[in-house]
Structure 1
């Protein structure tokens, strides 16, 4: 159920540097969204959680997984975030201390939906019966 893919090159997961940079970018994006200094009125006064940031091996591309709190109009907010991506890139580039500011792509985090779906499956009577027979 993890978003994280293994690297095609060596079959291992993300490097420590990728994980560290991803976590730093997640914190920076969360701070920017918390302050609400964006020009786009669709991004003001909206609570958006940045759940994870996956960074490419060369640290030039990043996918930020976001979730609007309250599930309010996800497509509209995602479109607004994508419009504001260059602004986020420049602000993150100023603060991250990286040689290159990564290109940021925003995606909705669907892991919570998947967890709910699996939980509902496990609560079904026929599945619960099979689990309890052990």
Structure 2
């Protein structure tokens, strides 16, 4: 595959992700508050003191969201998903309710999920293998 074909495939993938994000934002109230933008079925919940990380799977895609236990005040939160062999996809910032969603294509590979709220954190180890 030449570099032009690779660029076209990457551009198509980015366009599909952008369109799916736009649809999720254009249809508020159709997704439950628990999913916070992740598609698929919930396969894991990783609870910790200040919140929980919810992990969803659909096809070969894995999505995660960190949700604060007590929403309302702006605080530092993060969520990260890494498919084995790839770099992690991370969202970090100051949020009132949740960080994420972040989605990776894992195929049949294991993933490592991390989440934090105000320094309190959880890390899954390799899961969904």
Normalised by the size of structure 2, how large is the TM-score?
A: 0.29
More helix by share: 1
Normalised by the size of structure 1, how large is the TM-score?
A: 0.29
More strand by share: 2
